[in-house]
Amino acid sequence: MDSNGQTPSITWKKFLAFIAFQLGFIAILFAYVQMSMKIDPGGYDSVTLADPVDKDNSFNFTLLLWTCPFGKFCRIENCSRLLGIHNCHITVERSWYSKADAILVHHREVHRNPKKLPKEPRPPSQRWIWANMESPTNSPNLDFMDNLFNFTMTYRRDSDIFTPYGWMEVLPQPQNFTIPPKSKLVAWVVSSWQSGSSRVKYYKELRKYIQVDVYGRHHSPLPWVEHLSTLSQYKFYLAFENSIHEDYITEKIWRNAFLTWTVPVVLGPPRKNYERYIPSDSFIHVDDFPSAQELAMFLHELDGDTLRYQSYFRWRSWLKPVRGMWWAMNFCKACQVLQKKPIQFQTIPELSKWFKGGGNVTG
């Protein structure tokens, strides 16, 4: 016996029992994680939050995600909880193909090879959705998509399923706001640097007359975790789109500018197109100035006039910018739209012509 009156062998048995319990718990936890992770036969991982939509766990509409956007995780959330959409079953399991009411195909993953599309005959009542958030300039081989799809899901307002990069929500009541302190003037984050593009040419002219701090590949590094905190120090942000098309107003506005409380200076579709989405006094358009030099002069004037600069934030007292591009929500939105639409036995004959016809390309 030890000093406490216990038999050492008994204490050792308790220790072994404790270790066995811990190992068993770890095994159960590992099995649970494995069951929660599903592998798409197309080669993409997916995470499914599998709470039942209805108490009887029955569904009357199944949407099959044939490809996960940009090869990333397909995060599938409960549409009933997310958007109040009932009876919607979203899956990446291709074994559901013959039973699915609709399938969603993201352009980027199939544009190089049409053989990546389903090979089995399409069930008579099944509808196909063409999803794409890139501009026509950055969407090669659009002709492959003609006479295949029944619905479009893009940033374009005239899509069957409208999925913009962002939108404005009206606040229930006006609110006060405080503009974060600004110590720097103009910033630009660019990942795709093409010397012959319109936006790079404009930047090179603009920098002759005003200091522009450029971040991204081949420029000053900007870690993702420091993205927002760095840009929030600037008064203006160059929200220059990589190509100019109708409704192509991307995260450059919604995240890089509005989320960091900078005033966006935009180069993209015409001002009237922007004003469908954001207030006219929330941004500065390069088209409003005859030259880059006059734009630079205007930015310098605003820098020296606090009240005039603050006028570009007045809309924040009654509007809230909301960043889109949350794929889980877009999947649910697709389910919602198709649940309400009657089954159609026709395809879009010239999808490429429709998508390319949404604006002039300037590079």
Placement of tokens 């026509």 in the chain: 136
Cα dihedral sign, 66-69-73-77: negative
320-339 as b/e: b if 16+ CB within 10 A? ebeebbebbbbbbbbbbbbb
Contact by Cβ (8 Å): 40, 94: yes
Cα 224 to its chain centre, rounded Å, is: 16
List beta partners, residue 212: 186
Verify whether residue 134 is a known catalytic residue: yes
Pairing verdict, β 319-323 and 166-170: antiparallel
Instruction: Return the bridge partners of 167, or none.
Output: 322
Question: Catalytic: which of 134, 241, 246, 251?
Answer: 134
Q: What is the length of the chain?
A: 363
Q: What is the dihedral of CA 271, 274, 275, 277, to 10 degrees?
A: 180
Specify whether the CB–CB gap between 307 and 313 falls below 8 A.
Answer: no
39-45: long-range contacts at Cβ-Cβ below 8 A with a sequence spacing of 24 or more?
40/65, 40/68, 40/74, 40/92, 40/93, 40/94, 41/93, 41/94, 41/95, 42/66, 42/67, 42/68, 42/92, 42/94, 42/109, 42/116, 44/68, 44/71, 44/72, 44/73, 44/74, 44/92, 45/73, 45/74
Catalytic residues: 134
